[in-house]
Amino acid sequence: MSVLRHRARLGCSERPDRLEEECAVFGVFAPGEDVARMTCFGLQALQHRGQESAGIAVGDGETMMAAKDLGLVTQVFDEATLAALEGFVAVGHVRYSTSGGAASWEAAQPHISAIDDVLIALAHNGTLVNTAALRARLVRDGVQLRAGTDSEAAAKLIGQVTQKTHHLRNGIRHAMEAIEGAYAMVLASPDALYAFRDPNGIRPLCIGELPQGRGWVVSSETCGLDIVGATYVRDVEPGEIVRFNAEGVHSEQGVPAGRRASCIFEYVYFARPDSVIDHQSVYQARRSLGRILAQEAPAEADLVLGVPDSGVPSALGFAAESGISYADGIVKNRYVGRTFIEPTQAMRQLGIRLKLNPLPSVIRGKRLVVIDDSIVRGNTSKKLVQMLRDAGAAEVHLRIVSPEVKWPCFYGIDTDTRDQLIAANMSLDEMNAWIGSDSLAFISLEGLRAAVPDARHQGFCDACFTGDYPVAIPEALAAKSFSTKKDFEDVYAEGAKGADV
């Protein structure tokens, strides 16, 4: 086993004023294929879900080799690194880590651990809510922990039972029985790929097949399948374990499925528009969000603008429904992201202009409807409205295609504490006045649900809008994010509403 370690870099990253994904996973089982290269391309397609570190582990039947580092996929992997990763099974990961503290090489995934003399590599998208209890239990059992991540705790739990039974599936089942929260995981042993998902199916995970039976691919989103030429087959079901090895594909229920609670925000913002989740097109859902919002909150205006990228399909839907022309009035700089190069203080004062720039020739003198995906703290919306007024807009009517974000997420999305969420602390009129828009409206929860038809299963997680958490949040964890006693009472008065653990 060897791990190629590149130069470590320090992350900068101010806390962003929007909800941020915390990871994506990718896995391949394909004898005879360049699985490291395929995983590298898959991770590039999933880069929007995490930009702070990237890693790939490859198994060749006997051992495993891994490379990981801080940075974008293209910064971490080059031809020489990929050429060193030979094998036929691979897992990969991109990470966004602000909620877990500063980016660190140790926390980068896949997490590698040894079960006796067999190496496994685990990659995780999501957040466990009972990590502290799990870690205490592992320490009591004499297990050494180093990385301090959810993935390490899960890998050690898997190792405990696998060591005794010599079957990885038993170890995975044991871990799934113990861990609580949101997880979509891929695991590679030297000769097999495993994919498993939490009993509520909170974070997405899909399966694809390569042409001519060349192998199998697992990805957080279908855009990761597309880039390697795999055909979307289905999603990993809640609580399911799927194994891919030389014997074929084997599926079993690791733990009973609970209340179905797929993250509805994937359709609004997190996922790429060309992805399909649970057989539902993200792009079409965003078009529908705009169309429904136009019915719920019409505005007298000359142009509809979308805040790139996620606001654009919704703006097209709003325009089609309202009859108001759509215009590309805001241009996004695609190459300024979460980088490791600090902007100067003077550049920082440009704020939102580092990423978005208005087109004065399009918007001057016009009454605008501006469609955005969400408002978290409100600072970005305030700057956006000012920027559009500075560019000559006559009026700015802000329309948001998610309901008010009033509650923190504990399931793999980086959110502020409640006292920093603007909608948890201001009325609609107060928000409108503070942001400086001429009018402000959010889509209703019913409107959001109608835009994402619940055809195949029974439900979504919408806890950041409702406080209805599908997996109970331990009070110690909630205490860090709920700012008032009333917050506790809202969630704990009747137990965590709908909790199934």
Q: Could you tell me which residues come within 8 angstroms of residue 50 by beta carbon, excluding any fewer than 6 positions away?
A: 21, 22, 23, 24, 93, 94, 95, 96, 97
The Cα–Cα gap between 96 and 53 comes to: 7
Catalytic residue among 12, 23, 40, 206: 23
- Residue 442 makes contact with ligand SF4 by CB under 6 A: no
How near is the Cβ of 318 to ligand SF4 at its closest, in Å?
22
Give whichever of 6 and 18 is closer to ligand SF4, judged by the CB atom.
18
Nearest approach in angstroms of CB 123 to ligand SF4 is: 19
Which of 55, 408 has the CB closer to ligand SF4?
408
Interface pick for ligand SF4 out of 28, 76, 175, 202 (rule CB under 6 A): 202
Residue reference for tokens 């939102």: 352
228 binds ligand SF4 (CB under 6 A): no
Q: Treating both helix axes as pointing N-terminal to C-terminal, what angle do 168-178 and 150-165 enclose, rounded to 10 degrees? A: 130
Question: Mask 335-374, x = binds ligand SF4 (CB under 6 A)?
Answer: ----------------------------------------
**What are phi and psi for residue 15, nearest 5 degrees?**
-65, 120
- Residue whose tokens read 């550049």: 347
What is the distance between the alpha carbons of residues 138 and 33, in angstroms, rounded to a whole number? 38
State the nearest-atom distance from the C-beta of 475 to ligand SF4, in Å.
18
CB of 483 to ligand SF4, least distance (A): 17
Alpha carbon 277 to chain centroid, angstroms: 13
DSSP state letters, 51-108: -SEEEEEEE-SS-EEEEEEES-HHHH--HHHHHH--SSEEEEEEE--GGGSS--TTT-
223 is in an annotated binding site: no
Residue whose token pair is 């799927």 = 242
* Least gap, CB of 217 to ligand SF4 (angstroms): 24
Q: In 3-state terms, what secondary structure has residue 224?
A: helix
Selected from 463, 472, 473, 477, the binder of ligand SF4 by CB under 6 A is: 463
462 lies in the binding site for ligand SF4 (CB under 6 A): yes
Residues in contact with ligand SF4, shown as a per-residue x/- string from 245 to 274 under the rule CB under 6 A: ------------------xxx---------
141 is in an annotated binding site: no
Q: According to the binding rule CB under 6 A, does residue 216 interact with ligand SF4? A: no
Structure tokens at 212: 């001519």
Interface with ligand SF4, residue 461, by CB under 6 A: yes
Task: Quote helix, strand, coil % in the chain, to nearest 5.
Answer: 35, 25, 40
Closest to ligand SF4 by CB, 122 vs 202, is 202
**Does 40 belong to an annotated binding site?**
no
Is 206 marked active-site?
no
**Binds ligand SF4 by CB under 6 A, chosen from 76, 422, 464, 496:** 464
Distance, CA of 193 to CA of 244 (rounded, Å): 5
Residues belonging to the binding site are 263, 310, 372-373, 409, 461, 464
**Active-site positions?**
23
Instruction: Name the site residues for ligand SF4 (rule: CB under 6 A).
Output: 19, 202, 263-265, 409, 411, 413, 461-464
